[in-house]
Amino acid sequence: MKRVYLDYAATTPTHPDVLAEMQPYFFLKFGNPSSIHQFGQEAKAAIETAREKTAKLIGASADEIVFTSGGTESDNFAIEGIAFANEKKGKHIITSKIEHHAVSECCEFLAKRGFTITHIPVDKFGLVDPEDVKKTITDKTILISIMHANNEIGTIEPIAEIAGIAKEKGVYFHTDAVQTAGHIPINKLNADLISFSAHKFYGPKGIGALYIKKGTRMVSFLHGGAQEKNRRASTENVPGIVGMGKACELAQNDMAIEKETILRDKLIKGLFDQIPEIVLNGHPTLRLPNNVNISIKHIEGESILINLDLMGIAASSGSACTSGSLDPSHVLMAIGLAHEVAHGSLRLTLGKYTTDDDIIYLLETLPPIVKKLRAMSPLK
Ligand SMILES: *Cc1c(COP(=O)(O)O)cnc(C)c1O
């Protein structure tokens, strides 16, 4: 059976060149980077090279990059690191209603420990209004955390503007750039902290980085050894770091933006031409080049996914049954979708290896599935 992967926002395959670069660091060059002998120094040198490549992707300097275990840790590190180092100044944090759980649950955790969290709403396209952020800042605000682009609906936020406001008010600004790093150009974004994760752009899983601008006051995340200049203890994931460095280098040379945009727009047009009663979620133009998110009225996203999977197509949904909760995604709720419309959502995310044939196959396969499910649907 044909297999088509349209879930690149969940994870991407590791690029063969990335794997090749990592390979020697498992057996031949396995040293602990903290060791003073040659084995150690070889590993340490590899980490520093990878750090430079990672920094280059976002226009930072190498000593502003700390390697972590992924996007989740980077988000937690950024938020808790700022919160616990600056709580004497104040305990107010501003974030949005559409953040990834790695940010929102971390804020929840802090809310239970005496911090006040303001959740900025978004408009129907998923956009945060920078003016709303500005109005919410008080003299107790220590951090603003707003994502660069949303992982479900693909909306790209006006980060530079929000970062400018934060700077003007002397408040730290963090952005979760896990969906944009390696996909669209990022140049520090005027932020103090930026999270990214290798497996979202053709690197390995379990490795990520946090950009921490020079002079940022924060506490370290893991306590133990002196790795990462005392900011994150634990023996470094050398193969992972090497892989992330390579993935950053590859991304810099080839982001596939044009190719993805063409396929994305072809897909959106095809869906609207062939399936009645659907809506596009997210912004029509301020959106990730690889993201399509639609709601298909009168049916459940979950059933669509299962039927697509039977035909070899991997996609994702904001319908909640998988997560065991009855509520649809907080993102779809935040853009104001009715529950039943949110439940019919389907996310198709493209990547480097998506072909024209993949899109044609999806456009042949999905309409009959929708027709069949609608014929059986009690929601009509
Ligand atoms: C995937 C993702 C994360 C989590 O990254 P992991 O490396 O899987 O922990 C965080 N934020 C966003 C926006 C994501 O898409």
> How many domains does the structure of the chain reveal?
2
Looking at the DSSP bridge assignments, the partners of residue 169 are none
How much is the pLDDT for 378? 75
How much is the pLDDT for 173? 98
Query: Where a domain ends, among 253, 270, 304?
Result: 253
220 is written with which tokens?
Answer: 């370290």
The CATH code of the domain that includes 332 is 3.90.1150.10
321 is catalytic: yes
pLDDT in tens for each of the 380 residues of the chain? Answer: 899 999 999 999 999 999 999 999 999 999 999 999 999 999 999 999 999 999 999 999 999 999 999 999 999 999 999 999 999 999 999 999 999 999 999 999 999 999 999 999 999 999 999 999 999 999 999 999 999 999 999 999 999 999 999 999 999 999 999 999 999 999 888 999 999 999 999 999 999 999 999 999 999 999 999 999 999 999 999 999 999 999 999 999 888 899 999 999 999 999 999 999 999 999 999 999 999 999 999 999 999 999 999 999 999 997 655 555 667 899 999 999 999 999 999 999 999 999 999 999 999 999 999 999 999 987 66
- The preferred substitution site among 12, 76, 100 for testing ligand 1, maximizing ligand atoms within 8 Å of CB, is 100
How much is the pLDDT for 202? 98
Q: Are residues 235 and 97 in the same domain?
A: yes
How much is the pLDDT for 1? 86
Q: Are residues 171 and 304 in the same domain?
A: no
Q: Are residues 25 and 48 in the same domain?
A: yes
Q: For residue 323, what are the domain limits?
A: 4-12+256-376
Looking at the DSSP bridge assignments, the partners of residue 117 are 93
Spatial separation of the C-alpha atoms in residues 304 and 316, rounded to whole Å: 9
Query: Where a domain ends, among 195, 230, 253?
Result: 253
Q: Would you say the CB of residue 288 lies under 6 angstroms from ligand 1?
A: no
Q: Are residues 123 and 264 in the same domain?
A: no
Global pTM? 0.97
CA of 94 to the centre of ligand 1 (A): 20
Spatial separation of the C-alpha atoms in residues 21 and 250, rounded to whole Å: 12
Q: Are residues 21 and 53 in the same domain?
A: yes
CA of 83 to the centre of ligand 1 (A): 20
Q: Are residues 182 and 304 in the same domain?
A: no
* Edge-to-edge strand ranges of the sheet holding 116-120: 65-68, 208-212, 193-197, 172-176, 141-145, 92-96, 116-120
59 is written with which tokens?
Answer: 């226009």
Q: Are residues 181 and 283 in the same domain?
A: no
Q: Are residues 318 and 249 in the same domain?
A: no
The CATH code of the domain that includes 153 is 3.40.640.10
Q: Are residues 191 and 217 in the same domain?
A: yes
